[in-house]
Amino acid sequence: MKLHITVESLSVIGLNGSFGSPIDASHVHIEVVKRDHFPSVANTDIHFDGNNLRCTGLNVGVYDLRLFATTSGDVIASTENQPNKMMDPDQTAEFIMKRMVESVKRPARL
């Protein structure tokens, strides 16, 4: 749900985004687009596999997020590169979206 809200808010920074219908219960597609003289696009397919989110996409590469349940019942995530830095759902959505936003906002190469 946090990702859906984040995608809908992209227009605030001059980008468009779409949150695709889940292909199945364990897979969703997100896209970020910069419409300009030199349009740019990035997307991520997120696959849920038990305790992991596997994210793959155009212009963002491949990375995994490990999911953990806290004693209070919340779900937190960490990356492979920073396993001790835990992210709440808002931070996890920001982490996923930031890679795509940075990709489309890079200046076009001529």
pLDDT digit string, tens, across residues 69-93: 888 888 889 988 887 889 988 899 8
Query: Which of 45, 51, 52 shows the shortest CA–CA distance to 19?
Result: 45
Joined together, the tokens standing for residue 32 give: 């970020």
By the 10 Å C-beta count (0-12 exposed, 13-18 middle, 19+ buried), 17 is classed as buried
Q: Taking the model in full, what pTM does it have?
A: 0.82
Rounded to 5 degrees, what angle do the CA atoms 31, 26, 79 make? 70
* Helix/strand/coil for 18: strand
pLDDT of residue 1: 55
Per domain, the residue ranges of the chain are 2-105
Residue type, 62: V
